Amino acid sequence: MKHFLRMFLQVCLYFYCKCLWRCLKFVVRKLTGQCELQRICYNTKPGAARTMKIEASLKGSKSKRLQTSVSVHPDAIEKTIDDIMELKRINPDINPQLGVSLQACLLQIVGYRNLIAEVEKLRREPYDSENPQHEEMLLKLWKCLKPNSPLKARISKQWCEIGFQGDDPKTDFRGMGLLGLYNLVYFAEWDTEVAQQVLSDSLHPKYSQLSKAEWEKKKFDKAIGYSFAIVGINITDLAYNLLVSGALKTHFYNVAPEAPTLTHFQQTFCYLMHEFHKFWIEEDPLDIMEFNRVREKFHKQILKQLQNPEMALCPHFAASESLINM
């Protein structure tokens, strides 16, 4: 009985607050002469703060047309803006900047949804060793990371040198499908110097961070590294979950002036690899069995950063410079 009463009170409170909020919006519109969308665009600077408020306003609207505006096709955004202006009885000639601001926000909102779909498609596509394109990407990963060490055979223990678990990497991509390979290749190809540095450091973590004198003092410590490729696939999973949960909206809405793309996602992956590498060394785990603990702690740190509406994880993608100067 108590449980039923508690649920009943919660439902009553929900509808009360909803009605009260709508009444409050009505009063504010009458006082200011502006709808909620106008007040957001005119009083909030561009970026995540504005776009997320616009998104919440549209989704929370009692109008189905406004609710569905966040999921239209990119080509229909201009018409959607016209529909919103008409529905809200806003004269575009008197409020020309409003249409521009709404269009920028909708491009980001719709783009984020489309990015999730694109990333999900890659994640669901398994690695196929019979596919020449897949094989070509895998070999490119080796060439970028180990340019001076030719791969002796496609099936080889050499793959362990870049952090795969066995002599055929295809089995390691099961969790994240092609998405894991795409991210690793992007990191190795477009931020080669950093990728090679991180690979080297993952094999000799303490030596890479210490001076020769410091290393002499600590050389008998157990230096705990990690498997570069396996961790890359794991960090891909972390980035994927941040994306799907909506946590990365803060970052993407601040760095992508229009629709966030797969390149933005891959740049974010590079940043996360770089940051996790530093975090791993700072945590100084006793053994590799502490990986899940360190990863979870790192995940919470990133989530906390993304709670700041002005946060941009890698605004100019300067991971290379920061790692070299670390």
Co-location of 283 and 174 in the same domain = yes
Co-location of 16 and 48 in the same domain = no
Q: Cβ atoms within 10 A of the Cβ of 119, count?
A: 22
At 274, which helix (H) or strand (E)?
Answer: helix 262-283
pLDDT confidence bin for 24, thresholds 50/70/90:
very low
* Mean pLDDT score across all residues of the chain: 85
Residue 244, C-beta contacts closer than 8 angstroms, at least 6 positions apart: 116, 120
Which structure tokens are listed for 206?
């303490």
At 296, which helix (H) or strand (E)?
Answer: helix 291-306
Angle at 234 between CA 228 and CA 236, to 5 degrees: 105
Co-location of 62 and 201 in the same domain = no
Which structure tokens are listed for 171?
């089995």
Alpha carbon distance 241, 237 (integer Å): 6
The pLDDT of residue 219 is 43
Co-location of 150 and 293 in the same domain = yes
Query: What confidence tens digit (pLDDT) does each residue in 268-279 have?
Result: 999 999 999 999
Alpha carbon distance 188, 34 (integer Å): 50
Query: What confidence tens digit (pLDDT) does each residue in 124-138 have?
Result: 999 999 999 999 999
Co-location of 90 and 211 in the same domain = no
Query: What confidence tens digit (pLDDT) does each residue in 67-126 have?
Result: 999 999 999 999 999 999 899 888 888 888 889 999 999 999 999 999 999 999 999 999
The better pLDDT of the pair 26, 156 is held by 156
Q: Please spell the DSSP secondary structure of 180-191, one letter per residue.
A: HHHHHHHHHHHS
Co-location of 279 and 297 in the same domain = yes
Let me know: does 106 contact 69? Beta carbons within 8 Å. Answer: yes
Predicted confidence (pLDDT) at residue 208 exceeds the cutoff of 80: no
Residue 310, C-beta contacts closer than 8 angstroms, at least 6 positions apart: 47, 48, 49, 254
Co-location of 99 and 165 in the same domain = no
Q: Is 284 left (phi over 0), alpha (psi -120 to 50) or beta?
A: left
Cα 282 versus chain centre, distance? 23
Rounded CA Rg of the chain: 25
* Least reliable range by pLDDT among 46-60, 267-281, 312-326: 312-326
Alpha carbon distance 59, 53 (integer Å): 10
Count the domains in the chain: 3
Co-location of 98 and 54 in the same domain = yes
Co-location of 166 and 285 in the same domain = yes
**320 occurs within a structural domain:** no
Query: What confidence tens digit (pLDDT) does each residue in 286-320 have?
Result: 888 999 999 999 999 999 999 999 999 976 544 33
**208 occurs within a structural domain:** yes
What pTM value is reported for the model?
A: 0.83
**72 occurs within a structural domain:** yes
Predicted confidence (pLDDT) at residue 211 exceeds the cutoff of 60: no
Predicted confidence (pLDDT) at residue 5 exceeds the cutoff of 90: no
Domain range for 229: 128-307
User: Mean per-residue pLDDT for 134-148?
Assistant: 96
Domain termination residue (choose one: 102, 123, 144): 123
Instruction: Give the type of residue at 34.
Output: Q
Query: What confidence tens digit (pLDDT) does each residue in 147-189 have?
Result: 999 999 999 999 999 999 999 999 999 889 999 999 999 999 9
Alpha carbon distance 21, 12 (integer Å): 14
Co-location of 301 and 169 in the same domain = yes
Predicted confidence (pLDDT) at residue 26 exceeds the cutoff of 90: no
Alpha carbon distance 100, 78 (integer Å): 10
Co-location of 158 and 98 in the same domain = no
Co-location of 136 and 163 in the same domain = yes
